Amino acid sequence: MHSIQSVAVYCASSSQVRESFFRQAFLLGKLLAEAGIRIVYGDGGIGLMGEIARGALDAKGEVVGVIPQFMVEQGWNNPRSSRTFVVGTMHERKAMIENLSDAMVALPGGIGTMEELLECLTWKQLGLHTKPVVILNIDGYFDHLLAFIDKMVDEHMIRDIHKSMFAVVTSADEVIPALMSMPVWDASVRREAAI
């Protein structure tokens, strides 16, 4: 079992996504808060980012935002966040979110969400962290990405063992059990990064 006090959440800032995504984001925020788990995220105030924060804050949870200065200047930050760190660059943002978190969860999102998810998996593949990673595959949103990961294995770009770097669930109520029960990743598996 993992000891998890804070979870990085990667998800969409779009406000035009389907209602089921909003419901699951709000529920996940609520469930994490009720479990006493802090959310660390990109400090967005709208879309799924805003909804997961609202779910947690409405349940008296803690939400920590990390956002670059240029986004604050655009008014994209969430004024309700429990605490906000303003950084200089997107690179600093991603590194701080990872450093402040004991695990990572990806919900549906766009290019930025995919980049964050794949970067945290790259770091895990290289043994730079050993934290649990869960993909919340609402309504099959990640099906094509998961199929592409299978293609990577088939084409010998990664090894089959790398598919065990993450768990996939389909509803918010499965996320915490999946985080807690994931096998502990051995950083020495970085030797498997070379094919």
**Which of 160, 136, 137 lies closest to 150 in space, CA to CA?**
160
Q: Which pLDDT value is given to residue 195?
A: 66
Residue spans of alpha helices (H) in the chain:
19-34, 47-58, 69-73, 90-99, 111-125, 143-154, 175-181
50 φψ region: left (φ > 0), alpha (ψ -120 to 50), beta (else): alpha
Domain 6-193: state its class: alpha beta
Residue numbers of the chain with a pLDDT score lower than 50? none
Encoded tokens for 119: 């970067």
Q: Which pLDDT value is given to residue 191?
A: 72
CB 49 within 8 A of CB 12: yes
Q: Which pLDDT value is given to residue 1?
A: 57
Query: What percent of the chain is predicted at pLDDT more than 90?
Result: 91
Count CB-CB contacts under 10 A for residue 119: 15
CA dist 192 and 185 (Å) reads 12
Q: Which pLDDT value is given to residue 53?
A: 98
Q: Which pLDDT value is given to residue 134?
A: 98
Q: Which pLDDT value is given to residue 185?
A: 86
CA dist 4 and 159 (Å) reads 27
